[in-house]
Structure 1
């Protein structure tokens, strides 16, 4: 079993990853601004701000895998990329892999096609900055990290979020940077996304790559 640290482990995706990891017997540590109302048994929760480098360093000390499950909103609406760059630097120095909870908009509809983020006309304008900031992690920041950093950017399918919760089915489909087609299923619940996410961690087959989890 691995020692897994989840940065932002009380959010929608992060909490599901924490529950799945702990349920498989991994030793899980969470860093979050607030403690959960219903903590997962056996998980170590650290209360702290991800924008504070000392808090990040304390959380990842001794970890064998680090998960970034942060969102570019709220307190991170202006510092999201800086926080992720700092986290990547610390994880690289620790010599462990980094798995990042990504977004759907960074995927492509077909091989070689433009990514969805290049045309946000179908998204409400108030979310455009948030989407672009999240996309910059995989489009610019992670590829610019030293080759020594082993990262995997894990995008969910379309219609993923607390606004559309779903049940655990125990199944998922794995794609690359091309979106798992909605007409073939597409959506994914948090428990099934976490199932695929932790499978990726345990198998360790992807390196400096983007993958997509959908039904």
Structure 2
């Protein structure tokens, strides 16, 4: 079993990953700004600013999951925050799993990423910052860091929670769509895919996408 530290552990993605990892017997530490109103069984919570908590929890981690959103206190700071987490994970010899957005994927091989095209104005700043964190990993991650950048399907989030099916597909940086042209994944199945990757590392220093 692994010691899994999740930054953003009370957010939508982080909470689902924490629940899935704890259910499989992993030691789970969820880091967040404030304590959750409904703590999960088997999860230890560390609260405070990321910069203050990271030095305490990363040295003993086997896996660091970065699932913060560029909102609130992290808006405009996420690249620097993630650079620090990646550097600390490398020093600890921990695997680093960074959760990004759908718009960092490409519609087809060789085509620009979705974020380079027309993104609705209300999502554009967040999409650009999320893509900047991917670029940071590719360009600046310590060479010894074993990282994976994970993008969910296009329809993903608390607004489209869906149900657990126990199935998913893993693709590269080209977005996955089903036979109807939809790109979807439920919160629980996305977490399932991430914890499966934690337990059976199949992707190294690469960008992957998860969808049905």
TM over 0.5: yes
SS in 2 for 1:59: helix
Structure 1 unmatched runs, 5+ = none
Structure 2 unmatched runs, 5+ = none
Structure 1 position 49, deviation (Å) = 1.0
Structure 1 position 139, deviation (Å) = 2.3
Over residues 38-87 of structure 1, what are the superposed CA-to-partner deviations in whole Å (9 max), with x where a residue is unaligned? Answer: 1111111011111x2x3111121311111001101111112111111111
Provide the rounded CA distance (Å) in 2 between the counterparts of 1:38 and 1:46. Answer: 14
Over residues 110-138 of structure 1, what are the superposed CA-to-partner deviations in whole Å (9 max), with x where a residue is unaligned? Answer: 111111010124x1x13211110011111
Provide the rounded CA distance (Å) in 2 between the counterparts of 1:185 and 1:202. Answer: 28
Structure 1 position 148, deviation (Å) = 0.5
Q: Name 2:59's counterpart in structure 1.
A: 61
Is residue 134 of structure 1 aligned with residue 130 of structure 2? yes
Q: Name 1:7's counterpart in structure 2.
A: 7
Provide the rounded CA distance (Å) in 2 between the counterparts of 1:61 and 1:91. Answer: 8
Q: Of 174, 178, 192, which aligns to 2:189?
A: 192
Decide whether the 8 Å contact of 1:72 with 1:133 is kept in 2. yes
Provide the rounded CA distance (Å) in 2 between the counterparts of 1:77 and 1:30. Answer: 20
Q: Name 1:80's counterpart in structure 2.
A: 78
Q: Name 1:153's counterpart in structure 2.
A: 149
Provide the rounded CA distance (Å) in 2 between the counterparts of 1:84 and 1:142. Answer: 12
Q: Name 2:29's counterpart in structure 1.
A: 29
Decide whether the 8 Å contact of 2:78 with 2:133 is kept in 1. no
Over residues 125-168 of structure 1, what are the superposed CA-to-partner deviations in whole Å (9 max), with x where a residue is unaligned? Answer: 13211110011111234432121111000100001111211111
Is residue 162 of structure 1 aligned with residue 164 of structure 2? no
Decide whether the 8 Å contact of 1:185 with 1:214 is kept in 2. no
SS in 1 for 2:111: coil
What is the number of equivalent residue pairs in this alignment?
211
Q: Name 1:214's counterpart in structure 2.
A: 211
Decide whether the 8 Å contact of 1:32 with 1:48 is kept in 2. yes
Provide the rounded CA distance (Å) in 2 between the counterparts of 1:82 and 1:137. Answer: 9
Provide the rounded CA distance (Å) in 2 between the counterparts of 1:167 and 1:69. Answer: 20
Decide whether the 8 Å contact of 1:142 with 1:151 is kept in 2. no
Structure 1 position 185, deviation (Å) = 4.7
Structure 1 position 184, deviation (Å) = 5.3
